[in-house]
Amino acid sequence: MEVQKIKQRFGIIGNSQLLTRAIDIAAQVAPTDLSVLINGESGTGKEVFPQIIHAYSSRKHGKYISVNCGAIPEGTIDSELFGHEKGSFTGAHESRQGYFEVANNGTIFLDEVAELPMSTQVRLLRVLETGEFLRVGSSKNQKTNVRVIAATNINLIRAIEENKFREDLYYRLNTVPIIIPPLRERKEDIYQLFRKFATDFADRYRMPAISLDEEARKMLDNYEWPGNVRQLKNITEQLSVIEEKRIINAEVLKRYLPDYYANKLPALYHNELVNEKTFASEREILYKILFDMKNDLNNLKKLVHDMVQKDGSSEHIDGLGELVRNMSSNSASIINKVPTIKNISKSDDTTIEDTEEFVEESLSIEDKERELIIKALERHNGKRKYAAQELGISERTLYRKIKEYDIN
C-alpha cells in the first residue's frame, strides 16, 4: 500500500520522514484487530489516523464512531459508552444503547482517553479483554466486537505514576503505538501547509491567495508552533481575511505569532508530550533567566559606583546611568520598580542613590498559574476551549483549575 495514495485520499500534507513513518505504521496495522494508541500534541492531526486504520481494515463497512472523552461530563460518560437501562438514574426515561453497542463489528476512536475517570477505565479494560460490558443499571452481560483506537496528548507513563491512569489499561491499549510528530519537527512541511491553507481560504472567501516574502517565510520556519497544524491553519485564515495586502512581510506576520522571538532563550528539552508539569517547568526556567538579568543589573550598579569613587567623568557616568535604566526596563517582568541613578558628581561625597526599591513578584507556581489562566481567558473572551488549547491543557483540567482558583 503506497503512503502517497493514503496522503491523497485523506488530504495529508507533508513529506517529513516522521510523518511518513506514522502513516506507514497505520497502514500496516489496519488489516489486523490490534488496539492502537496514538500519541501526539494537540493540533497535530491525530484524528486522521483512526480513519486511515478503519478505512483499510476488514471493518471498513461497519460503524466508525469518534468519541472525545474530555468533552463528556464524568457523570454521563459510562452511559454514553456502554448505554443504560430505563430508570437507572434521574432522567433515564428509556433504555439507551451506548457507543460500544452501536459500533458492534466496527471501530471506536477514543480521543483524549486519559480524561476517562478511573471507574470508566475499569469498564473499558473489561471490554478490551473479554468483549463484554454492562449497561448502567443492568446486571446482564452484553457482547460486542469492537476495535478500539485511542489517542492522547499527555504522557500516560507519568499519569500512571500519579495514579491517574491504569497501568493494565495502558498496556492493553498500547499494543501498537503511533507517534504523530509536532510541527516544529516537520520544518520542511510548514511552508507547504501554509500554501495549501492559503489556497483553500482564497477559494472559500473568493479573494487572491496570500503569500510570504523571504523574511516572513524564515520567521514561519523558526517559530515553535505550540498549537501545531491547527495553529498554523488558524493564523493563515486570519491573515487571509484581515490583511489587505496579499504579500505578507515579517513585521505583519509577527503580530499573529504570539511570543515570537528571533533569538530564542535557552531552554531544557524533554522528549515528552505536553502536560501540566512541563508547563510549570518552562516558567521556572524563564524565572531563572530573568533573575540572572537582575543580578547583572546589580553588578552594573556596583561597577558604576566604583568608577565614581575613582573619579569617573560626568559624560561616562551619565551614559552608564542611561544603560542601567534601559536594562531595568527590559527586566520589568520580574522587577516592578526599577532603580534610577541620580545625584552623581565629582565631589568626594559622591553617592549613588536608588529612588525606589526592588519589589519582586511572587514566585508561587500557583499564583503564576492562576495569572496565566486569567490572561488566557481574557485573550479569548472567556472561551474555555481556546484558552485551554493555548495553555496546553484539556478543557476539563482548565475547568477544574478555574474552580480551584475561584476565577470568575
Q: What would the pLDDT profile of 85-130 be if each residue is shown by its tens digit?
A: 998 888 888 999 999 999 999 999 999 999 999 999 999 999 999 9
In CATH, 363-404 is 3.90.1150.10: no
Provide the CA 249 distance to its chain's centre, in angstroms: 27
Q: Fold for 184-254, please state it.
A: Helicase, Ruva Protein; domain 3 (1.10.8)
**To which residue does cell 522528549 refer?**
271
Please give the pLDDT value at position 317.
52
d(CA 55, CA 49): 10
Cell of 299: 553588578
Please give the pLDDT value at position 384.
85
Q: Which amino acid is at 402?
A: I
For the chain, counts of helices (H) and of strands (E): 17, 9
E strands, 121-271, are 132-134, 141-143, 147-152, 176-179, 211-212, 247-248
Please give the pLDDT value at position 92.
84
pTM across the whole model: 0.64
d(CA 317, CA 314): 5
Please give the pLDDT value at position 339.
45
Domain positions in the chain are: 3-181, 184-254, 363-404
Residue 255 has a CB neighbour count (10 Å cut-off) of: 12
Strands 176-179 and 211-212, sheet pairing: unpaired
From 115, 36, 73, 109, select the one nearest 275 (Cα to Cα). Answer: 115
Cell of 380: 479569548
From residue 352, how far is each of 294, 313, 324 by CA, in Å? Answer: 18, 15, 12
From residue 291, how far is each of 105, 298, 363, 369, 371 by CA, in Å? Answer: 59, 11, 11, 19, 19
In CATH, 3-181 is 3.40.640.10: no
Instruction: Mark the ranges of the chain whose per-residue pLDDT is less than 50.
Output: 262-263, 265-279, 332-359
